[in-house]
Amino acid sequence: MNDPESRLALLRFLERVQVRDLARTRRWIADEERRQAEHRRGLQARPPAPDWLIERGLSGREAVYVHVGGCWTAGRRSKGVDRDHARRALAEGVKPCPQCRPDTELGFVDG
């Protein structure tokens, strides 16, 4: 290992390995930046949450609850509706969610 030529060859080899590792790390960084940008674009393109939800029963036919949009108890069978539709559903006897109280939010007075 005292030979300066072999020492220089080892250092050149080490340099090539480090350059390759740096290039790989830069690719990883670029890939992660691309993923984060796609994620941000996806969040921005997401439609706004509806203001009101009607939750359907298991059959998918009858409405079982009216919710305020974003209610944490609204199930997967919920569909966004406008204010008038939500008020009409309450007037027709669909129960208001006891958690988010859409009847209060809508100013709905029974009777």
Least Cα distance to 86 among 110, 60, 51 occurs for 51
What is the model's pLDDT at position 111?
Answer: 47
The stretches of the chain forming alpha helices (DSSP H) are: 4-45, 83-91, 102-105
What is the model's pLDDT at position 2?
Answer: 73
Low-confidence ranges of the chain (pLDDT < 70): 1, 109-111
pTM value > 0.75 = no
